[in-house]
Amino acid sequence: MNLKCEPSCQFCAEGVCHCGCGQSTSIIKLTSAYRGYVKGKPFNFVAGHGLRGKKFSLAVRRKRSTHRNGELSKISPFLTPERIVWYQKEHGRWWCSDPSKRQVPHAKAVWEQTHGPVPEGFCVHHKNGDPKNIMNDCLGNLMLLTWEWNVRFMPVLALGFGIHEAQVTEAYCKIEYLPYEQRFPEVCKLLWENKHEQSVNATENGHQSQKL
């Protein structure tokens, strides 16, 4: 029960959530005048239901999502209408909320704004291999890849050849027209040829510098 509620409040009398969902709320264990809690009475809301149906301006939502260091959250430079975005270190990329309030990667939201829902089994990939910079979530830097290529092949090939993931993506784009099962060996072939060519060029440059 909230001290601000009317004594005749039907929700409090029945012990159900004030948002109208009909779910029963738990019982308050400690009285708190600051929060308006009375021991032994039911809470006004089920956890997470207190803001249901309420709409806040963009300025208010930015203030509510202020970072712990005091920095205001960012506004997406690519999505319309304007949406708040935030960076998640554990995922190494930017996130936002879709119209249904579900948290999604910002890059995915940018892609779907133009191309529609991402097909099952696919994900949005950054061509330059850097999702940490929000400006890299621009549509021109995004492409669709299967989960297998995005999560498994791309990082493994980059590590194996000692190159940046962007170079693997560049090689993949050259053979994307091939049947799916032929793409992996062809990408490996291209990367090996590029590495061999670089090695030959480095050797020739070394010989020329010695002659000089």
Q: Given this model, what pLDDT does residue 73 score?
A: 74
Lowest mean pLDDT of 14-18, 84-88, 115-119, name the range: 14-18
Q: Are residues 39 and 62 in the same domain?
A: no
What is the rounded average pLDDT for all residues in the chain?
84
Q: Given this model, what pLDDT does residue 100 score?
A: 78
Q: Are residues 49 and 72 in the same domain?
A: no
> Per the structure, how many domains does the chain have?
2
pLDDT digits (tens, 9 = 90+) for 131-178: 999 999 999 999 999 999 999 999 999 999 999 999 999 999 999 999
Higher pLDDT, 117 or 97: 117
Region 7-28: mean pLDDT is 79
Q: Are residues 191 and 113 in the same domain?
A: yes
Q: Are residues 19 and 108 in the same domain?
A: no
Lowest mean pLDDT of 22-31, 35-44, 54-63, 100-109, name the range: 54-63
Strand 74-75 versus strand 142-146 pairing type: unpaired
Q: Are residues 65 and 155 in the same domain?
A: yes
Q: Are residues 66 and 128 in the same domain?
A: yes
Q: Given this model, what pLDDT does residue 141 score?
A: 97
Can you tell me the distance from the alpha carbon of 146 to that of 210, in angstroms, rounded to the nearest whole number?
48
Distance between first and last Cα of the chain: 88
Can you tell me the distance from the alpha carbon of 190 to that of 180, in angstroms, rounded to the nearest whole number?
16
Q: Given this model, what pLDDT does residue 67 score?
A: 59
Q: Given this model, what pLDDT does residue 151 score?
A: 93
Judged against a pLDDT cut of 80, whether residue 118 lies above it is answered with yes
Distances (CA, A) of 142 to 26, 162, 173, 187: 46, 23, 12, 19
Q: Are residues 67 and 4 in the same domain?
A: no
Local confidence band at 209 (pLDDT 50, 70, 90 cut-offs): low
Q: Given this model, what pLDDT does residue 66 score?
A: 64
Lowest mean pLDDT of 37-46, 65-74, 93-102, name the range: 65-74
For the CA atoms of 119, 124, 125, 130, the dihedral, rounded to the nearest 10 degrees, stands at -170
Sequence-distant (≥ 6) Cβ neighbours of residue 121 within 8 angstroms: 146, 147
Q: Given this model, what pLDDT does residue 1 score?
A: 46
Among residues 155, 156, 190, 195, the alpha carbon closest in space to that of 173 is found at 190
Q: Are residues 50 and 69 in the same domain?
A: no
Sign of torsion, CA 184 186 190 195? positive
Yes or no: say if 42 and 28 are a contact pair by the CB < 8 Å rule. Answer: yes
Q: Are residues 2 and 35 in the same domain?
A: yes
Q: Given this model, what pLDDT does residue 150 score?
A: 95
The token pair that represents 119 in the structure block: 């097909």
